[in-house]
Structure 1
Amino acid sequence: MRGAKIRDKCARFALAAAIMAAATAPAHAETEALDSQVAVVSPGSFYKVRDLHFGIVAASTLPGTVTVAPNGTRTSTGGVTLIGNSHYPAEFAGMKPTQPNRPVRMRVGSNTVLLTGPGTPMVVSLFRANTNPAQTLSTIPRNFQVQQSSNGAFALYVGATLAVNANQQPGTYTGTWTLTLDYQ
């Protein structure tokens, strides 16, 4: 019986040593290449900083929607499941040419855009920006106030709603849309 206790203590010591060795082993190093960018604005300028991304979603037998708000929050309805956090609104940078407190006229090129990929195209609509008023953008130019610094520089964020079809085929879907700002 005494031998069994010694073997038991040795086994516990060996297990503890293996756990300690695993915990103190050097970490495996990986290197990633990263992009860097900057948008330099001047009076009367307007630049795209980042595209609109709805992120990764899972479709089901029910249709649904994915909405990315201008503030970056993402919600879904129907049979769509949100996966991860790889979503973000489109981001633009600009600077009003004169009189920074005047509104800008803003419009999209189309009220709906098709995202195409390996399956049935999906419709993007209800484009919204972080503006005042917080209304859906349309093809009809309307006046909006953008939050800006004292010299007229601003960051503009635009989100939208994506209609996901029932049984949407997996894959990457892309589309192009336009945003026009007219400084007054």
Structure 2
Amino acid sequence: MTFSRSKLLPEALIIIGLALLMSIAWFNNLTDQGTNIFHLDNMLSMKLLQNTQFGQGLIWRAWPEGWGAPVLKTIIVVQAIVALSLWRTAISYLRCLSTSSTSAATPRRLANHALSLFGGLWLFFLCGGLWFGYWMHKGPIQNVHMMLVLITLAALIFINLPENQADSVD
């Protein structure tokens, strides 16, 4: 089977970079739980909206305080799964790059799966944040989540672009 190898290296670099990013996010959440529990408790309880004129129609969605820790523990587990999926994909790309007879189908299939998990996590954060009105007081956090969704979409588009057959390897 012939396939273009010209896209494999940039695809691998994208996956390795996102695996590293997800690993750092996971590690940060694992080692600095106090900060994240504070922010999650504020968002889930909607404490920042209670004494303002904004968001009063959303307050009924507030959860009781104390949910930050269990939610963070769940996020840590999900982030570990996503990071491992991305690293598994990165290893598949590196194997493909080191072997001239290997098809790119496996790493690309794994990339689609890992990127779907990665993007799904950030979409979940965006939807959850929107539900709890975090955009009113936590705009920079929402911007990070939106940027990661856009990065995911760009990576999916690039990895799934048709290969240029002129660059095929026999």
Determine if the TM-score, normalized by the shorter chain, exceeds 0.5: no
TM-score by length of 2: 0.23
What's the TM-score, normalizing by structure 1?
0.22
Larger Rg: 1
Q: Which has the higher contact order (CA 8 A, sep 6+)?
A: 2
